[in-house]
């Protein structure tokens, strides 16, 4: 090895040493930078987690501010004064509430009972169990699947395999719970991909999951629905009609014909319906309680009938139902020809009102001169479908159609009753804006009376028991969801008392004719004090 080669080796070694030294310095610098970046990243992650946790905590506190305030108050109380005063106070409060509920349950339910039950059911029942019920009923939204993964084998062809990673479902969130005496209203927010109709279709499954008899879904906002569960049936007991003795001193002009007491609702409140400016079709099998729907409103407006503000006309193909109280009817018919004459008389009166008020008013004001004409048409299908005379059948159908289309503004109201609500039986059923479906034989009859979506929304009229006469579902004219009601029961004695109340004389055994009757007698009670029925 000569000197030149040695110098080259020494130079190469020096270069390598310098490179190693530079790399060492660069590595230390990079390590310092990475350590600094790691420290900054840890700080940022910690801050992000802290902010996220704080945001969720604040959001939870704001969403449940009552529970949060109570928890904070109890914690502070226990911290400053110990657990014994808290325990004594809690026992005292529970004792007072229990005594209140025992002594006066109505006021307790109206004030603290409803709030306490809502709070308890939200956290012990619906917050824990409702997500599981929604999953079981298919009311959740699954996230999309992962992309397709293809395995390539150079020696042969491989099948394309789709690998799906299981992910948590998107479950509607509970926004609040309101609990009444018979219903629980659970408000939930829908997730993207859902619509209120999905919950309508699963109402029966949700009722089974909750273990209750009924479930009804109401749309509150575009993304919020209320799932209502019925815990108690408040319509299981018979509802009594108004007492005529309490209406003796009520003047007929004081009766609000747009708000007539007719029974009770499924929510434990009074049910009022309008007899002025609307027509109602009642459908139900034999024994469903159409009589309660017929007679109870008439009892409630007895002073108006007595004083001439309401005039009744009855069409009774059976000759039994309305005949029992026919003295309150100014017109009464049984046969098809008599019914046609009665309807012609009503249409003639409507034409006279047109001439008197056309161009002056949009609707006829109710008075003694122009009373509210109410037509009670029992078994409407018997005269517009089942009678053999086709021309007579078509003529009656035409008259009914005229009254239902033109009578609203003229002060004419038609109330029809039918057992089979098919289009063939009642071709004018669409002209009745308000409909009440009592107990029917099949699910399809519910759709015929209340509409296609009524059953999905909770109008299960085919499941009404035979021991619940007068119970039905009301739908139409501003009612967004079917309302379950029960008409007040009117016994035979009350119908006879109604005759005496209206005519001013007791019933006699003398047989009457089945044609036009004189109008109800007017008595001197116009200025008598009283309230609205």
pLDDT 10s digits, 204-215:
899 999 999 889
Query: Out of 147-151, 340-344, 402-406, 470-474, which region has the weakest mean confidence (pLDDT)?
Result: 147-151
DSSP 42: H
Integer CA distances (angstroms), 98 to 70, 104, 118, 119, 404, in order? 20, 10, 17, 17, 55
DSSP 246-272: GGTT--GGG--TTSEEEEEETTSSEEE
Average pLDDT on 111-116 reads 81
Query: Out of 271-280, 328-337, 479-488, which region has the weakest mean confidence (pLDDT)?
Result: 479-488
Strands of 471-475's sheet in order across: 270-273, 260-265, 483-487, 471-475, 434-437, 280-283, 412-418, 372-377, 310-315, 331-333
The position carrying tokens 């690998």 is: 163
pLDDT of residue 156: 52
Torsion from C-alpha of 60, 61, 66, 72, nearest 10 degrees = 130
pLDDT of residue 415: 94
Average pLDDT on 8-14 reads 78
Angle, helices 65-81 vs 83-103, to 10°: value is 130
- 426/417 Cα distance (integer angstroms): 10
Detail the DSSP E strand segments found in 288-411.
310-315, 331-333, 372-377
Torsion from C-alpha of 380, 382, 386, 389, nearest 10 degrees = -90
- 311/306 Cα distance (integer angstroms): 9
pLDDT tops 80 at residue 520: no
β-sheet bridge partners, residue 166: none
pLDDT 10s digits, 185-236:
999 999 998 998 899 889 989 999 999 988 988 888 889 999 999 988 889 8
pLDDT tops 90 at residue 486: yes
Q: Which residue has the higher pLDDT, 12 or 26?
A: 26
Give phi and psi for 317, each to the nearest 5.
Answer: -60, -30
The position carrying tokens 């829908």 is: 190
Picking from 300, 305, 316, the residue whose alpha carbon sits closest to that of residue 239 is 300
pLDDT of residue 293: 93
Q: Is the dihedral of CA 407, 408, 410, 414 positive or negative?
A: positive
- 328/503 Cα distance (integer angstroms): 7
Walk me through the domains of the chain, giving residue ranges and CATH numbers: 104-139+169-230 (3.30.980.40), 244-503 (3.40.50.300)
pLDDT of residue 144: 57
Q: How many CB atoms lie within 10 A of CB 193?
A: 10
- 420/445 Cα distance (integer angstroms): 8
């Amino acid at each position: 090895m000569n000197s030149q080669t040695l110098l080259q080796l020494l130079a190469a070694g020096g270069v390598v040493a310098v490179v190693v030294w530079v790399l060492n310095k660069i590595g230390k610098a990079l390590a310092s930078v990475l350590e600094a970046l790691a420290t900054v990243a840890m700080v940022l992650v910690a801050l992000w987690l802290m902010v996220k946790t704080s945001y969720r905590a604040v959001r939870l506190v704001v969403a449940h501010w009552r529970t949060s305030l109570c928890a904070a108050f109890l914690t502070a109380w226990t911290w400053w004064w110990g657990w014994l005063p808290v325990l004594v106070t809690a026992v005292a409060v529970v004792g007072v509430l229990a005594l209140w509920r025992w002594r006066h349950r109505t006021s307790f339910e109206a004030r603290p009972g409803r709030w306490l039950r809502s709070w308890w059911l939200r956290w012990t029942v619906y917050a824990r169990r409702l997500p599981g019920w929604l999953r079981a009923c298919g009311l959740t939204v699954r996230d999309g699947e992962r992309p397709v993964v293809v395995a390539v084998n150079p020696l042969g062809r491989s099948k394309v395999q789709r690998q799906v990673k299981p992910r948590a479902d998107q479950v509607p969130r509970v926004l609040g719970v309101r609990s009444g005496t018979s219903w629980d209203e659970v408000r939930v927010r829908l997730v993207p991909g859902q619509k209120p109709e999905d919950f309508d279709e699963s109402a029966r499954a949700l009722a089974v999951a909750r273990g209750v008899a009924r479930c009804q879904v109401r749309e509150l906002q575009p993304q919020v629905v209320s799932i209502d569960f019925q815990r108690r049936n408040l319509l299981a007991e018979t509802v009594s009609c108004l007492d005529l003795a309490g209406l003796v001193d009520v003047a007929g002009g004081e009766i609000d014909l747009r708000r007539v007491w007719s029974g009770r609702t499924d929510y434990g409140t009074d049910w009022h319906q309008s007899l002025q400016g609307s027509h109602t079709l009642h459908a139900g099998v034999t024994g469903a309680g159409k009589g309660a729907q017929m007679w109870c409103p008439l009892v409630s407006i007895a002073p108006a009938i007595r004083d001439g503000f309401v005039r009744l006309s009855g069409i009774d193909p059976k000759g039994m139902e309305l005949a029992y109280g026919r003295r309150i009817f100014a017109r009464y018919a049984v046969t098809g020809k008599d019914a046609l004459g009665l309807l012609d008389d009503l249409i003639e009166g409507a034409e006279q009102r047109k001439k008197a008020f056309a161009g002056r008013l949009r609707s006829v004001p109710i008075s003694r001169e122009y009373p509210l004409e109410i037509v009670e048409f029992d078994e409407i299908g018997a005269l517009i479908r089942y009678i053999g005379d086709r021309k007579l059948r078509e003529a009656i159908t035409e008259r009914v159609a005229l009254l239902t289309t033109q009578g609203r503004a003229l002060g004419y109201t038609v109330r029809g009753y039918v057992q089979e609500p098919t289009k063939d039986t009642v071709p004018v059923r669409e002209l009745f804006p308000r409909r009440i479906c009592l107990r029917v034989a099949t699910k399809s009859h519910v759709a015929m009376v209340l509409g296609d979506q009524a059953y999905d929304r909770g109008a299960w009229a085919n499941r009404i028991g035979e021991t619940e006469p007068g119970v039905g579902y009301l739908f139409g004219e501003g009612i967004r969801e079917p309302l379950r009601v029960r008409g007040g029961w009117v016994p035979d004695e009350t119908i006879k008392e109604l005759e005496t109340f209206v005519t001013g004389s007791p019933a006699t055994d003398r047989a009457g004719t089945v044609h036009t009757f004189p109008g109800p007698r007017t008595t001197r009670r116009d200025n008598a004090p009283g309230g609205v029925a």
